[in-house]
Amino acid sequence: MSHAPVTVATPSGYKVPLTWLPGQSGAPVLLVQAAMGVGAQFYTRLAAALHERGLQVAVMEPRGQGASTLRPGRRQDWGFAEVLDNDLPAVLGWLRQQDPGAPLYLFGHSLGGHYAAITAGRFPNQVHGVIMVATGSPWWRAFQGDVRTMVRRLIRVIPAAGLLFGYYPGERLGFGGREARTVMKDWRRLAQSNRYRAHGLNKDLDAGIATFTGPVLAVRLADDAFAPAAAVDAVTGKFRAARLTERVLDAEQLGDRADHFRWARQAGVVAALTGDWLAGV
């Protein structure tokens, strides 16, 4: 698999690390966006499997992970807005320059799927479609039992943790990794209300998603405690005008536990599902 690690300059001066796997001119371009606390390297198998199916693939390094020059701390903070209004538009522009005639799809895992949904709503003329894997709203009402208890506890402690540490210490709290405090403030708002809010971005993000008319593929994992059916429905329900396709993968299909992260070990299954779906849209 040939790939080109590049950096994409943004208006703020931050450079987004991107792994770029080009292909035949005009082939669909997929921009892969990661889950919270997960670096781009986690998606190496996925990128290779998608590329083998003739797709052009870009994997975006999240702020604070892997090759990113940023690390969450009291002096380095960001939220959803910096990704949505600075990083992603720059990456979309760079990808258009590489192959102006190719259709562009956003592929997001978990938090990356939320960013994909919001971006499709904000820039519908640039985004041909959305693929979301294990993307469920953290809305506390979408969960039961221990996970609901955990989410409600996080809603309470996130503000205090940000003040005390200057960042979100996920390794101490048992959810996520070391995250920027404003990312977690924005995540907390979603967990409280199932409404997208981005600190510093005064726009109705849900309204944009509701008007997106492109195709959307939502893949749920049958054993996923962090994105069960109700949580996934809380996201897909935001797409009021889109052509929605929903699929559920179980352990038999994957040959492994079908949970929030282990699907990536058998990334070829998701790549095949994605490729077949793209062929039909």
What are the pLDDT digits (tens) for 104-124? 999 999 999 999 999 999 999
Q: 171 in a domain, yes or no?
A: no
Instruction: Classify residue 111 by burial, with Cβ atoms within 10 Å: 0-12, 13-18, 19+.
Output: buried
Decide if pLDDT at 1 tops 60: no
Alpha-carbon distance 272 to 67, whole Å? 28
Phi, psi of 135 (to 5 degrees): -105, 100
Q: 164 in a domain, yes or no?
A: no
- The mean pLDDT of 121-132, rounded to a whole number, is 97
Q: 157 in a domain, yes or no?
A: no
Query: For position 123, which CATH number holds?
Result: 3.40.50.1820
* Neighbour-count burial for 183-210, b at 16+ CB within 10 Å, e otherwise: bbbbbbbbbbebebbbbebebebbebbe
| Rounded alpha-carbon distances, angstroms, from residue 98 to 92, 95, 278 | 10, 5, 20
Q: What percent of the chain has pLDDT over 90?
A: 97
Q: 188 in a domain, yes or no?
A: no
pLDDT of residue 110: 98
- In whole numbers, what is the pLDDT of the chain averaged over residues? 96
Q: Which DSSP symbol is given to 22?
A: -
Q: Count of domains in the chain?
A: 1
Q: 194 in a domain, yes or no?
A: no
* Predicted confidence band of residue 3 (pLDDT cuts 50, 70, 90): low
Q: 184 in a domain, yes or no?
A: no
Alpha-carbon distance 246 to 117, whole Å? 15
Output the pTM of the full model.
Answer: 0.97
CA 165 from chain center: how many Å?
Answer: 26
Per DSSP, what are the bridge partners of residue 4? Answer: 20
Decide if pLDDT at 4 tops 90: no
pLDDT tens digit sequence for 239-266? 999 999 999 999 999 999 999 999 999 9
- The mean pLDDT of 22-45, rounded to a whole number, is 97
Decide if pLDDT at 156 tops 90: yes
pLDDT tens digit sequence for 66-89? 999 999 999 999 999 999 999 999
| Rounded alpha-carbon distances, angstroms, from residue 19 to 32, 40, 148 | 10, 8, 36
Q: What percent of the chain has pLDDT over 70?
A: 99
